[in-house]
Amino acid sequence: MCYQKLEDDIACIHTNGVNKFEKMQKRREHLIQEMLREFNEGRSKTYYCIAAAVMEIEELKEALNTARANSAGFNTKEKSRVLHALLDEIARQKHYHLKLRK
């Protein structure tokens, strides 16, 4: 559970119901799987999971599509850097925290 979004998640469930919330979470899961399959150089799993939990679905999709377009022909490590930079920029603009808090 990501506590950065807990209040938003509870409000979403109250407003839209559990079924819509579950569908949204399934879309997030699908996006995580895409990020891991295409952009994980072996060190980014936690980062991508936090990003998918914290960021809006449309932000994730846009970053993923832009990363695909901007990293065609790159190796996985280079592709990962492209996606990280995009996610970091969105996080900076929106004041999201994408670091694991222990």
For the segment 72-101, what is each residue's pLDDT rounded down to a tens digit?
999 999 999 999 999 999 999 999 888 766
- Gap between the Cα atoms of 92 and 55, Å rounded: 11
- Gap between the Cα atoms of 102 and 90, Å rounded: 23
The per-residue pLDDT for 102 is: 58
60 residue type, one letter = L
Band of pLDDT at residue 9, cut at 50, 70 and 90: low
The per-residue pLDDT for 19 is: 81
- Gap between the Cα atoms of 99 and 26, Å rounded: 22
Number of Cβ atoms within 10 Å of the Cβ of 65: 11
The per-residue pLDDT for 21 is: 79
The per-residue pLDDT for 6 is: 63
Contacts of 99 (CB under 8 A, 6+ apart): 50
What Rg, from alpha-carbon coordinates, does the chain have? Answer: 14
For the chain, which residues make up each domain, given as ranges?
3-94
26-68 pLDDT tens trace: 999 999 999 999 999 999 999 999 999 889 999 999 999 999 9
Residue with tokens 């990962």: 80
The per-residue pLDDT for 12 is: 62
